[in-house]
Amino acid sequence: MIGVYLVGLKIPENVGFVARVMKNFGFKELYIYDCRVTVKSFKTASHAKDILRNAKVLKGFDEILDHVNMLVGTTGVTACRQERYVRKPVFSPEELRAFLDGKSGKVAIAFGREDYGLFNEEIELCHMVVTIPTNPEYPVMNVSHAVAVLLYELSKGKYGLEDKNIVKARDIENLVENFERLMRAVWYPKHRIERTKIALRRILGRSLITRRELTVIHGIITKAITYIEHLKEK
Amino acid sequence: MIGVYLVGLKIPENVGFVARVMKNFGFKELYIYDCRVTVKSFKTASHAKDILRNAKVLKGFDEILDHVNMLVGTTGVTACRQERYVRKPVFSPEELRAFLDGKSGKVAIAFGREDYGLFNEEIELCHMVVTIPTNPEYPVMNVSHAVAVLLYELSKGKYGLEDKNIVKARDIENLVENFERLMRAVWYPKHRIERTKIALRRILGRSLITRRELTVIHGIITKAITYIEHLKEK
């Protein structure tokens, strides 16, 4: 089940256009954080007003982690060059489709502000990053057209329904924090902690792991931390 | 070389959005017939105002035949069901890309009115018909999003430049008319003439034939007509 997550859109028409293309390609789940939704949005939504009405309005960017198993961020081509690791590896829409094809679980694709896109702190929380290959002369697409292209590509694939066995993105976040505790306990170089967390988050997020698997990994890390603390006390 | 042909658009913003997605995917040639282009179009074109400014404004739908080698029409899914032969065979964006991949010549993709799309008489003049697979519950896409999806798909392929050896769509039209003269000369069933012309037009259009080939076929048909008339006179 694939949903769309709109973040910080300021032009109300764009939110409506997104609802319309979602319905055009058979997608239903819309999450909204910090967007301007007005009568104009309902006008451009045309016959997809139901999608707008049923949209889940979130209070913080990271609230999405409670709703889905995997979070995919989108980024413009230019942004890729500026970042060293936050926006790498970056997938094409076709690669994302191939990756998700045949998988189960709830996935949200996040689209950012008309001017700045998603902030780095938001992209860091994503498990995959995707970009639409565009003309370097003018790579900046209108957000609703970017959604249209991505949903068109994803509509070629087949996806399973929600799977209760797969852990929520929030659970992965907790596991990443447990890894951080281990890193700090063993004096892992501080300046590498952030990027290591991003790598861990992406590996674990992409794996769509089950509750059982999560418990196993949590167990190892927690055991290691406890033992290290035990040794230190001596 | 692939261009976009906008027909009868009434919402000025849509024309601008189309120019923008064209530039996003590296397409330049815009043809316009009977569209409302205003300051609003230039606003939504954003950094693609040059594409709008350089657009060729045509005086009749069929004037496009003088500019390109092949004309592709687009149609919504619902429209397909109503027609028996005008909108058949219909290609998917992927099939169109695969067909055009590696070929030379000027091709225009025509997009019709926000409400009615392309009229049957316009679709009849096209050499191929393409449709974007959408949700039957709400198949009607905004025209600029349809352009975005199609250009995204076509941007995956590689196309040659203009090839002066390939005949213009207008030349094919003249050959089709020559065939019609032959059909009438031999008392071909009148009610089948129209659909036979459409079939001939599509076969010849898709073939991207050269001047030399065109002359050969013209020669056969004209010779046949002359001989038939000669026999009749006896």
By the CB < 8 Å criterion, does A82 face chain B? no
Domain boundaries of chain B, sorted by first residue: 2-154, 169-233
Q: How far is CA A111 from CA A131, A132, B8, in A?
A: 11, 12, 32
Consecutive 10-residue averages of pLDDT for chain A (234 residues) = 97 98 97 98 97 98 96 76 67 94 93 94 94 93 97 93 89 95 92 92 91 92 92 86
By the CB < 8 Å criterion, does B139 face chain A? yes
β-pairing, B30-33 with B70-74?
unpaired
By the CB < 8 Å criterion, does B20 face chain A? yes
- pLDDT digits 0-9 by tens, B116-126: 999 999 999 99
Over range B125-153, report the average pLDDT.
Answer: 95
Predicted pLDDT at A83: 55
CB burial string B95-121: b at 16+ within 10 A, e below: ebbebbeebbbbbbbbbbbeeebbeee
Residue B128, beta-bridge partner list: B72
Nearest to A24 among B44, B93, B135 (CB): B135
Predicted pLDDT at A41: 98
Cβ distance B93 to B54 under 8 Å? no
Contact A21 B139 (CB under 8 A): no
Q: Rounded to an integer, what distance in angstroms lies between the CA atom of residue B16 and that of residue B30?
A: 11
Predicted pLDDT at B79: 46
By the CB < 8 Å criterion, does B114 face chain A? no
Contact residues on chain B for A137, CB-CB shorter than 8 A:
23, 26
By the CB < 8 Å criterion, does B77 face chain A? no
Contact A26 B135 (CB under 8 A): yes
| pLDDT at residue B80 is higher than 70 | no
Residue from A142, A143, A156, A158 to probe the interface with B (highest B Cβ count within 10 Å): A142
The residue whose two tokens read 């929600």 is A162
Contact A153 B152 (CB under 8 A): yes
Nearest to A23 among B21, B25, B137 (CB): B137
Q: Rounded to an integer, what distance in angstroms lies between the CA atom of residue A207 and that of residue A205?
A: 5
Q: What is the dihedral of CA A13, A19, A25, A30, to 10 degrees?
A: 140
Q: Rounded to an integer, what distance in angstroms lies between the CA atom of residue B207 and that of residue B66?
A: 17
Contact residues on chain B for A141, CB-CB shorter than 8 A:
20-21, 24, 148
By the CB < 8 Å criterion, does A142 face chain B? yes
Contact A145 B17 (CB under 8 A): yes
Predicted pLDDT at A234: 81
Q: Rounded to an integer, what distance in angstroms lies between the CA atom of residue A146 and that of residue A111?
A: 9
Predicted pLDDT at A160: 79
Contact B135 A20 (CB under 8 A): no
CA A200 to chain centre: 14
Nearest to B21 among A47, A48, A145 (CB): A145
Q: Rounded to an integer, what distance in angstroms lies between the CA atom of residue A141 and that of residue A132?
A: 9
Predicted pLDDT at B85: 66
Q: Rounded to an integer, what distance in angstroms lies between the CA atom of residue B110 and that of residue B3?
A: 9
Over range B24-37, report the average pLDDT.
Answer: 97
Predicted pLDDT at A85: 66
By the CB < 8 Å criterion, does B26 face chain A? yes
Q: How far is CA A29 from CA A2, A5, B62, in A?
A: 7, 9, 43
Task: Write the Ramachandran bin of A67: left for phi over 0, alpha for psi from -120 to 50, otherwise beta.
Answer: alpha
By the CB < 8 Å criterion, does B182 face chain A? no
Can you point out the beta strands (E) in chain B?
A: 2-7, 30-33, 56-58, 70-74, 90-91, 107-111, 128-130
The secondary structure element, H or E, covering residue A56 is strand A56-58
pLDDT tier, B164 (very low <50, low <70, confident <90, very high otherwise): confident
The CATH code belonging to domain B2-154 is 3.40.1280.10
Over range B32-43, report the average pLDDT.
Answer: 98
Measured in degrees and rounded to the nearest 5, phi and psi for residue B89 equal -75, 150
Encode A77-131 in three state secondary structure.
Answer: HHHHHHCCCCCCCEECHHHHHHHHCCCCCCEEEEECECCCECCHHHHHCCCEEEC
Q: Among the listed ranges A154-163, B83-92, B130-139, B203-212, which one has the minimum average pLDDT value?
A: B83-92
Secondary structure class of A23 (helix, strand, coil): helix
| pLDDT at residue B215 is higher than 50 | yes
